[in-house]
Structure 1
C-alpha cells in the first residue's frame, strides 16, 4: 500500500453499493473515504467519512439511499487539524442495489442468435458470453432488464449450436462502462431446437383488405401460409414482431374457403406448431379452463367433438392432443406420454374443429389453477 506525501491520494474503488452500506478499497494508507450521489457533489451521503483500514473501507449513509441511485467515492488525507486534504479522483460509478450484488441471471431461450431469460435484481443489465469463443460477448453492449426479464438478438458474436454460453448481470454507469455485478449463470448449451414460441394466434382475417393479423411472443418471426380451397396456396415472407403484434398483407383474391396457417420462431430457432383458421369455419370459442394439473387439463369446449390442443409456455412444446367424444362439452385431456407441466409454467389451450383444424382463441392458465 502506498503512503500519502501531501498530494491527493489514489482514487478509491467501490465494490458494494446497497441502500444501507457502501464499501470498497483504497490503496493510499492513512486516508478516509466518502461517497456522493451524482448530481449532488457538495453533500456526501455520510456526515463522517470512513477510515481506510488495511486497504478497505465501509460506511453507512446517514439516510438510506434509493435503489438506482448513481454514486461515486472520493478519498482524502486527514490533516492534523482534522480537516481533509484535496480529494482524489472519483471512483468508477456504481448503481445502488438492494443487495450486495446482483442475482445471477437465468437463461431460458438460447438459439445462438437469440437469447432471453430472467434477472431478479432491478436496474441491472445482462450480457451473454460464449465459452467456446474465448468468452466473447454476443452483444456489443449489455441489454437492460425490464420487469425481471431480458432478451437480446446477437449483434456481436452469435453462438453456434453446441456452444456453451453464460449470462452475467451488470450495473450501469453514467460513463457508459457497465460494472460486473453478478457471478455467472448456470451454463447452457446452444440448441436452436430446444425452445420455440407457442403458435402465433390469428385475431383477424380480412377478405376485403386481404390482411391477416394476430399476436405472438415478442422478438419472433411469424410465417403465414394459405392453402387449400379454390384459390390455391401461397407462403409469405416472415414478418418480425418486436412487441408481439403481427400483420401480413396477403393481397386480393383470397378464396372464401382458404385455410390460413401461421408459425412463429425466435431468431435462429425452429418454427412452432401452426395456428390455423379456416375461412367459413371459424371457431367462436373461447374454450374455458376449469383445472390445470401437472398431467392433465380439465375444461369446457365450445361444442362437442372438438380437438383439444395445448402448448406449454416454457418451451413451446405441445403436450395435449386429445379428441373429445361427440357427447357433451366437458373434457378431461391427459398430457402426451412423457410430458408434464412444471410448477409456474403456463398451459395455452385451444379447441379445434376436427375436419378443418380451425382454432379458438387461446385460453391460458398456470399449473395448479385454480388453486
Structure 2
C-alpha cells in the first residue's frame, strides 16, 4: 500500500506521480541486477537529472526545482522504496551542492550551480577521513595557500560516488584551529592529483560506489573556495542537518518498500486454510511495521517543515534520522521474518532491503552521534516556540 500523501500544490502532486512512474517503469527493472553485479548506475542519474530530480530543493533561477524540503524528501521516499542506492545518491548529490548554494558568491553560483543542478553532473561530498569519521574537527587533510591556489593533500574516506562524480565538495584544514581551521573547496574530478581507490566491498548498497579519495598536491584555485577561509566546519555541519533529513527519508522509503512486499506476500500466502495475514501473530507484526513507517514519516516531515520555515531544526533532524533509520532496520528485519525461508533467499528483495537498512544507522552520523546531538540540545535551557504560518 503506497504512502498516502497530502501535498500543498498540484505541482508537488504531479512531481510525486512522475517519481512513482519513473520508479516503477525505469528503476525497478534495473535495481536487482545492478545491486547483484555491484554496477554503478551512472546513466540512471543522468535520466533522473533530465527529469529534474537532482536539484529539487534548490532555486529555479540556478536550474533547481524550487521545491520545499517537505516535497523533496517525499520524492526521495518514492525512489528509495524501489532502489535505495539511487535515493542515497540523490541525497548525497544534494548535499554536495549545499556548500555552493548556501555559501558561494553570486559569481560562483552563476558559474557552477546550473551545471550541478541540471542533471548532467554528479557530485560527491568529502568530509570523513579514515581516523576522523564522527569527529570532523579532527581531520588532517590540509589545504596550504600558494599564491592564487591552494594545494590539498590528504585522504577522504567513505566518499559516495567516489571515482564516478564530476565534482567533489572537499573539507580541508587551512589552520590548526580546531573549530575555525577548516575550509570548503569545490574540486573538479579531472584535477591532477585527485584519485579514487577501488570501491569498498559493502554489505549493502552495492549499486552505490563508495571509495577513499586521495588528494596528492591537488591545486585548487582560490576562487574555488566556498565561503570564507575557516568557515568549512560551519558549512559541513549545516549541510549535515539537511543530509540527515535526506537519509531519514531514504530509510522511510526503504521501510515502505519492504513493508509493501511483505504485506502482499501475507495477503497471498496461505497457511492452515487462510491467508497468513489473518493469523493474529503475523497481523500484529505487520501492524507494528506500518505504525513504525508512519511515525518515521511524520517525524521526518515535521523537521522538514521547520527547515522550510527557516527555523532551527538541528535537533529535529537528528531525531528524524534516529527514528527513521532504527525503524527501517526493525521493519526490514520483520519483512524477512514475514516471508520466512523465502525472505532469506535472493529470490525476494527483502534480504537486500535488510542489508541496506543497516548502513542507514551509520552514515550521516551514527545513531549514537544523533543521540549525542539530541541530548546536548536537551541540556540547554530553551522554551518551546509557536510559529504562525497563516493568519487565516
- Class of the TM-score when normalised by the shorter of the 2 chains: under 0.3
Larger helix fraction of residues: 2
With structure 2 as the length reference, what TM-score do the two structures score? Answer: 0.22
User: Which has the larger Rg?
Assistant: 1
